[in-house]
Amino acid sequence: KAFSKTSFQIGQISIPLGKIDLAATIEKTVNIESPPENRLGEVCLALRYVPNKNKLSVVVMECKNLKKMDVLGLSDPYVKIYLMLQNKRLEKKKTTIKMKTLNPYYNESFSFDVTPEKMQRVHLHVTVSDYDRVGSNERIGQVSDLYLVDL
């Protein structure tokens, strides 16, 4: 299960990595899916795979126009990246929290060890959440079902 007791799903996109050649850096801004009346924002990721080193690099560049989650009209967003294999989480990475912004800039790089054989079967699951000092963190949205073959 991808959600905790204190989280709820607003939208999602999944990134199956075996469908494209990641030898070159790929950068794409994607809208987080949601009901039509609720736009949640955008997340920009850069992906690169180096087969001879078994390294998948994911750079969380930035988020734009995120949904306001705090009373004062801002959010304290952070991004989590899950490397998934058949709905099983293999590894998780997390960005720093950017305080009081709807347009956080991260430029944070994360590396995953992935063999070329496994690249055909793994995908990424990306969540954007709002940090709360008191109470539980709230999910702004999540990214799934982005087929890289369409990039």
DSSP letter, residue 17: G
Listed residue (124, 110, 143, 145) closest to 82, CA to CA: 124
Domain 14-150 architecture: Sandwich (2.60)
Cα distance between residue 80 and residue 141, in whole Å = 11
Whether the predicted pLDDT of 5 surpasses 80:
no
Bridge pairing between strands 42-50 and 77-85: unpaired
How high is the pLDDT of residue 23?
66
Tens-digit pLDDT profile for residues 97-144: 999 999 999 999 999 998 888 887 888 889 999 998 888 899 998 887
DSSP string across 111-139: EEE--HHHHTTEEEEEEEEE--SSS--EE
Which has the higher per-residue pLDDT, 29 or 110? 110
Confidence band of 75 (pLDDT split at 50, 70, 90)? very high
Whether the predicted pLDDT of 7 surpasses 70:
no
Whether the predicted pLDDT of 59 surpasses 60:
yes
Whether the predicted pLDDT of 70 surpasses 50:
yes
Cα distance between residue 113 and residue 96, in whole Å = 21
SS3 call for 19: helix
- For 65-104, list the strands marked E by DSSP: 77-85, 88-94
Listed residue (117, 149, 105) closest to 14, CA to CA: 149
Whether the predicted pLDDT of 146 surpasses 60:
no
Q: Give how far Cα 125 sits from Cα of 5, 49, 58, 81, 90, Å.
A: 18, 17, 12, 6, 11
Over the chain, what is the mean pLDDT? 79
